[in-house]
Amino acid sequence: MDFFPISLKLQQQTCLIIGGGKVAYRKAQLLIQAGACVTVIAPDIDAELNKLLQVNHGRYIATTFNEAIEQGLNLTTYRWVITATNDTHINQHVYHCCEALNILVNTVDETQHCRFMVPAIVDRSPLMISIATNGTSPVLARQLRTQLESTIPQSLGKLADFSGKWRKTVKEKITQPEQRRIFWENLYESSFKDNVLNDHLDLAEQHLRNALNEWQIPKGEVYLVGAGPGDPELLTLKALRLMQQADVIVYDRLVSDPILNLCRRDAQKVYVGKARSHHVVPQESINTLLVKYAQQGKRVCRLKGGDPFIFGRGGEEIQELCEAGIKFQVVPGITAASGCSAYAGIPLTHRDYAQSVRFLTGHLKEGSPELPWQELVYENQTLVLYMGLVGLEMICKKLIAHGQRPDMPVALISKGTTPEQKVVVGTLSGISQQVSLHEIQAPTLTIIGEVVKLREQLNWQQLGGSS
C-alpha cells in the first residue's frame, strides 16, 4: 500500500490551488463542495473558475507562484495545496516548498510530486466511497466510479445518516464493541434497511427500538468455509460474506494470501496450517479451538482450502461442534479436483474417454498407503489423487503391477488456479521422475486417465481464455 487513504474534514479550512485552468476548476469544485475556503494563484484564470470563487467567497491572486511568495504569501496558512499547471518546473518548485513546511501537496498527473492523491468519489453523503489508483490509472478509477454509481442506491446515505442519529443510544445499551458490530450487521440484513431507504422512517425506528429492547448477548457460531483451490475469484458469495463478518479466522496452509486478505481486516487470525509430517496445530487441538472461541460468543470462520468435506476433515470438526452444542454452517468450496483440472484444461469426464471419476487420497488417516488397487485399474475412469506427491512413485508402480497400462497419461498440477500454477504431463511409468526434474512442489494434484490427452487442445489459459 503506497498511499494511506483518509478522509479530511475541510469545512472552513483554507486550501490553495496553483493554476487557473479547467483542471484547477474541477479541483476547486470538489474542495468547495467539502466546505473549504479556496484560494487560486495564477496569472490568468478560467471564467468559470473565477465565477465559482466569487459565488463561494473564494480568493483569486492574479500572479505567479514565485511572485506571490516574494509578495509575502505564507504557505503555512493553508491546510493543503494542489498544483494544476502545465509547467513541470513550477510544479516541482511548489512541491519542494510545501515539503519543506510539511504541507500536504498534490500535483496533478505528477505522482512524484504528490504527498497525497485525490480519488474518484462516489458521494452518498454522509457515506463517501473513494476509488484511487495512486496516480497510475485515473481513467480506470473513473470507470470504477461509474460502475459503482449505477449499483449503489442514491438513498444509501439516508441509512448512514439515520444510523448515526442512533449510534449513541445503541452504544449506551450495548457497551461491548464486538457485540455492537453484530447488532448493526443483523439490523442491516433485516427489513430495517429497506424501511429507511424507502422513507418509512417510523417503521425503521420501531424496528430499531424493538431490536434494542430484545437484544441478548449473541451465542458463538462456526462457519466451516471452503476457500477453493487458490484463485480468490472462485470463492462463493456466501463464503465472502461470512469471511467479512467473522470475529476469528482459523485458516490452513492451503488458504492463499489473496483469499486471506478478503477476510475482515480487524478479525483475529489464527494459523493452524498442516503439512505432511508437520502439523502446526494437531487436528484434535483445532477442534478444541473452534469450540473454545464459539463458547466465548465469537463468530468463527474455519477457512479451509478446497472443499471442507472432500479430504478436508470438516466432518471431524463439526462432529466436535455438535457434541459441544455449537451452532454452525457449512459453505462448500470448489475442490482442488474441479478447480485445478479446469484451469489445466483437463475435463475429468468425457463421453469418449472417461465415464466415471474417482477421488483418492495418498495420505490416509492411519498413515497406510494401501488403496483398493484392483478397483482402480479401469480403462474408462479418471483417478484424481490428493496429497499423493510423496508416494507418487509407489502408487504408479502399484497401479502398473495390478494391470494398468504403463503409458496411461498422467498430469501433475502444482499450485493450481494460482499465478504459480505449473502443469507437467507424462505417463504412469515415467511421471515420478518428472517431479524433481521440474521442481514440482506441494500442493500438487495428480490426474491419471485418458482425459489428460485433451489438455493440449483444451488448455484455455494458453489459448487466450484467461482473464
Residue in 243, 220, 219, 245 with CA at minimum distance from that of residue 304: 243
pLDDT of residue 463: 62
Average pLDDT estimate for 180-184: 91
- On whether residue 392 sits in a domain, the answer given is yes
pLDDT of residue 467: 41
The length of the chain, given as a count of residues: 467
Average pLDDT estimate for 358-377: 76
Taking only the tens place, the pLDDT of each residue in 102-145 is: 999 999 989 899 999 888 899 999 999 999 888 888 899 989 99
Beta-strand relationship, 248-251 and 299-304:
parallel
The CATH number of whichever domain residue 22 belongs to comes to: 3.40.50.720
C-alpha grid cell, residue 92: 516541482
- On whether residue 44 sits in a domain, the answer given is yes
Asked if the model's pLDDT at residue 368 lies above 60, the reply is: no
pLDDT of residue 370: 74
C-alpha grid cell, residue 124: 452518498
The CATH number of whichever domain residue 421 belongs to comes to: 3.30.950.10
Confidence class of residue 388 from pLDDT cuts 50, 70 and 90?
confident
pLDDT of residue 16: 97
The residues that are catalytic are 252, 274
pLDDT of residue 293: 95
Q: Which of 276, 309, 334 is the last residue of a domain?
A: 334
In angstroms, the first-to-last Cα distance of the chain is: 24
Instruction: Let me know whether 95 and 35 are in one domain.
Output: yes
Instruction: Let me know whether 299 and 388 are in one domain.
Output: no
pLDDT of residue 278: 53
Q: Where are the beta strands (DSSP E) in 191-336?
A: 221-226, 248-251, 268-271, 274-275, 278-279, 299-304, 327-331
pTM for the structure as a whole: 0.75
- What's the whole-number average pLDDT of the chain? 92
Share of residues in the chain with pLDDT > 70 (%): 96
Asked if the model's pLDDT at residue 390 lies above 70, the reply is: yes
Instruction: Let me know whether 166 and 280 are in one domain.
Output: no
- On whether residue 133 sits in a domain, the answer given is no
- On whether residue 131 sits in a domain, the answer given is no
Confidence class of residue 363 from pLDDT cuts 50, 70 and 90?
low
- Alpha-carbon distance of 153 to 158, in angstroms, equals 10
Instruction: Let me know whether 167 and 108 are in one domain.
Output: no
**Least confident stretch, 142-156, 192-206, 354-368, 393-407:** 354-368
Quick one: angle between helices 314-324 and 283-295, nearest 10?
A: 40
Q: Where are the beta strands (DSSP E) in 314-379?
A: 327-331, 356-361
pLDDT of residue 157: 92
- On whether residue 319 sits in a domain, the answer given is yes
Taking only the tens place, the pLDDT of each residue in 78-92 is: 999 999 999 999 999
- Alpha-carbon distance of 122 to 230, in angstroms, equals 32
pLDDT of residue 466: 47
Instruction: Let me know whether 257 and 294 are in one domain.
Output: yes
Instruction: Let me know whether 63 and 94 are in one domain.
Output: yes
- On whether residue 402 sits in a domain, the answer given is yes
Instruction: Let me know whether 327 and 372 are in one domain.
Output: no
Cα torsion 163, 166, 169, 171 to 10°: value is 20
For the chain, how many structural domains are there in total? Answer: 4
Q: Which of 98, 118, 138 is the last residue of a domain?
A: 118
The CATH number of whichever domain residue 251 belongs to comes to: 3.40.1010.10
- On whether residue 132 sits in a domain, the answer given is no
Q: Do 417 and 258 touch, CB atoms closer than 8 A? A: no
Q: Which of 334, 365, 387 is the last residue of a domain?
A: 334
Q: Do 295 and 273 touch, CB atoms closer than 8 A? A: no
Question: Residue 179 is part of which domain span?
Answer: 156-213
The CATH number of whichever domain residue 200 belongs to comes to: 1.10.8
Residue type, 383: L
Instruction: Let me know whether 79 and 165 are in one domain.
Output: no
Quick one: angle between helices 156-173 and 177-188, nearest 10?
A: 140
DSSP state of 4: -
Average pLDDT estimate for 50-59: 95
Instruction: Let me know whether 343 and 360 are in one domain.
Output: yes
In DSSP terms, which residues pair with 16 in a beta bridge? 39, 81
Instruction: Let me know whether 256 and 174 are in one domain.
Output: no
pLDDT of residue 276: 55
pLDDT of residue 464: 55
DSSP state of 305: S
Instruction: Let me know whether 233 and 198 are in one domain.
Output: no
Instruction: Let me know whether 323 and 303 are in one domain.
Output: yes
- Alpha-carbon distance of 166 to 91, in angstroms, equals 46
- On whether residue 395 sits in a domain, the answer given is yes
